[in-house]
Structure 1
Amino acid sequence: MSKPSIRQLLPLAALLGFTMPLAAHAQASGNNQVLRVCADPDYLPFSNSAGQGFENKVAELLAKSMGRRLEYHWASYRGQGGFSNFLADNLDTGKCDVVMDLPYGDNEEGYTTPYYTSSYVFIAKNNDITSMIDLTRHPMKIGYEEETTPETALKMLDLTQDAVVFHIADDPNSSPEQFLRAVENNRVGVMITWEPAIGAFLKDYPDLKVHPVPAEEYGPGLPQVSYTYPMALGVRTKDTALKAELNTVIAANKPQIAAILADYNIKLYKQPASVNFTNQ
């Protein structure tokens, strides 16, 4: 994605291995009446403690469908070490059982079937930029988030020297709206970010245009780089029963989930052809 991404989701850095304390494991696996979710208390449009984010709304829907009470453990996605440390310090240690946005195929955590697929996008005042390679033909100030797929591609294309790097993943006071303001105020000519992060704010920036970043190859023999990611719920690998239950309610509530995402102006994309669900 991203969040993919905005929270060092895409790609995820390798996580440190953690052993869950026995007491925490017993708490995590022993209560089938509660859905315990770790979420950021102040990071719209994803989540907040008032329940106003799209992750909050999807969590509420799934908990109700499972017949469970929804319970949160609040922790910032943007603390030291970013989203990787968030997972290690909260999900892996048993403070919750579910996180709401994890790239499908993550190597360190368990994950459900995807509940949506979205993309990185270009944001600009015009729609001339339709691919990363276009940026080599139209010189302009580029904004991007650190440790994301676009950063990797920009380095491959030698386009980072004069770019503006946003370090949102380690800033607990940050908001994705700053990406739109950067374009609106001409700090950058084009911003590249995870689309779900900015969709809800776009109504306040009617002059900005958004275009998905297409998959491309950047050199002979190099693999195609994709910017479209399916996003799943994250669970501990050992929690197979919970994973199966979540897969069931995701499948049963697809129209309702899509309606929630539409309310937050999150555009949905087709699953990449390379994605398979053999682990499900």
Structure 2
Amino acid sequence: MMGAGRHRRLLPALLAIAAMVVGYSAARAQTNESGDLSIELIDPKVLRVCADPRNLPFSNDKGEGFENKLAELFAEKLQKKLDYSYFPQATGFVRMTLGSHRCDVIMGFPQGDELAQGTNPYYRTAYALIAKQGSGLDDVTTLEDERLKGKHIGIVAGTPPGTNMAAAGLMANAKPYPLMIDTRIDSSAEAMISDLAKGEIDAGVLWGPMAGFYARKTNPPLHVTPLVKETTGPRLVYRIGMGVRPADQNWKRQLNRLIQENQGEINKILLDFGVPLLDENDRPIGPDTATKSP
């Protein structure tokens, strides 16, 4: 039997636990009845977004990226104020933002990544080959093409296309660019595009949204080919959704509804930034088919 002294010492803790359980149950009941997400969100009146302060075309602290524009769209639909928690998108990003309850959603999160819980995907895209118009490589559709043999091809080290390039025998002449960088001071994508424009490399392989964005900024524009026809190495096509905390089920459902109801507007924003959108059959989604879901 528990001694009286020990019981008295435990009583305050037991009362505190009971109060928390009662408060949590009442709040859950209120949430279920009203749809209020205050249990899951830092501030139910504010859309708090986890973002990189310098990582175009995705986001920056000036609100110029397509994830900024998507956040503005969602804040408008939710009738909430928009606020950000910025942290460089490198090791520790999820832990220091979403995981630390500094924000409630990562606007771009690959399906299958276990660091957070993903929503339904809102776009599908692929790594892409970028080359100069008229270079003889602008109609290459796969890394297995013989025309790439002996060419200097840029690749971000550690990204999936490296495996495909190795299988195709292209790594001996490849130029690697670092994967883990501080985006506040460096950009592997910009460095690769600059080298391609100067003729220091013959072509480059970049993640589709980066390839499309920077290819448009080059004068003349570069040609972008999504790599959807690879037969060796990993598939280079990915679905992208949003990331939330594993416990935030109501919030995830609300974001899924927003994605479904606003897919056309989402696609328009992505296309405006040059993101090469793909449907489930690897066919490009353009302005005339922008209402399609990934």
In the TM superposition, 1:1-280 aligns within 5 A as 29=41, 31-77=43-89, 82=90, 84-125=91-132, 126=135, 127-134=138-145, 138-172=149-183, 173-175=185-187, 176-203=189-216, 204-206=218-220, 208-218=222-232, 225-271=234-280
Question: Where does the alignment leave 5 or more consecutive residues of structure 1 unmatched?
Answer: 1-25, 219-223, 274-280
Deviations 1:156-189 (A, max 9, x none): 3343233111114323322333222121111211
Larger mean Cα displacement after TM superposition, 35-44 or 152-161: 152-161
Kindly report the root-mean-square deviation, in angstroms, between the aligned alpha carbons of the 2 structures.
2.2
Give the CA deviation at 1:266: 1.5
Q: 1:92 to 1:215 in 2, by over 3 A?
A: farther
Give the CA deviation at 1:200: 2.8
Q: Is the 8 A contact 2:148 2:170 kept in 1?
A: no
Give the CA deviation at 1:232: 0.5
Q: 1:269 to 1:240 in 2, by over 3 A?
A: same
Structure 1 Cα separation of the partners of residues 39 and 192 of structure 2: 40
Give the CA deviation at 1:136: 7.4
Structure 1 Cα separation of the partners of residues 42 and 224 of structure 2: 45
Give the CA deviation at 1:201: 3.0
Question: Where does the alignment leave 5 or more consecutive residues of structure 2 unmatched?
Answer: 1-37, 283-294
Structure 2 Cα separation of the partners of residues 48 and 137 of structure 1: 35
Larger mean Cα displacement after TM superposition, 246-255 or 135-144: 135-144
Q: Which has the larger radius of gyration?
A: 2
**Consecutive aligned runs of 4 or more in structure 1 exceeding 3 Å deviation:** 26-30
Q: 1:239 to 1:103 in 2, by over 3 A?
A: same
Between the aligned residues of both structures, percent identity stands at: 33
Deviations 1:59-82 (A, max 9, x none): 1101211222211001111xxxx2
Q: 1:202 to 1:225 in 2, by over 3 A?
A: same
Deviations 1:247-267 (A, max 9, x none): 111111111111111221222
Structure 1 Cα separation of the partners of residues 151 and 252 of structure 2: 45
So what's the TM-score if we normalise by structure 2? Answer: 0.74
One-letter code aligned to 1:195: G
So what's the TM-score if we normalise by structure 1? Answer: 0.78
Structure 2 Cα separation of the partners of residues 136 and 196 of structure 1: 25
Q: Is the 8 A contact 2:42 2:102 kept in 1?
A: no
Structure 1 Cα separation of the partners of residues 206 and 214 of structure 2: 13
Q: 1:135 to 1:150 in 2, by over 3 A?
A: farther
